[in-house]
Amino acid sequence: MITLQKKLSAALLTALVAATLAAPRPASADTASTAAIAGLAGIIVGSLLFDSSRNQYYYVNGGNRRYVNDYQARQWYQRRDPQYYNQHRGQWSNHQQFQANWSHSHHYQN
């Protein structure tokens, strides 16, 4: 009886160890990969520009203009500088003036 219990215990222990080692685990985050991901987000939407001929905001990605809708543009500005956006959102309807004031305030040379 004791031998059977030892064999079962050993088998159970082996199964548990195997299951623990074989279980999928999330990848470890390191500083380099985190910085790379954050950098890619900055490249995709580095700054918004305003196209007065289309009356629409856009960003440049790979040399191509990627247009965004009004809601996406508002969200972008709000995330970038919530305090500035909240103080100046009344000026939003004049997109060109809002863009010029934003660029001047944030020292962009667009």
Beta carbons of 76 and 68 less than 8 angstroms apart: yes
Listed by start position, the domains of the chain span 41-110
pLDDT in tens, the chain (110 residues): 566 555 556 665 565 555 555 555 555 555 655 554 444 444 434 678 888 888 888 888 888 899 999 899 899 889 988 999 999 888 888 888 888 888 888 876 54
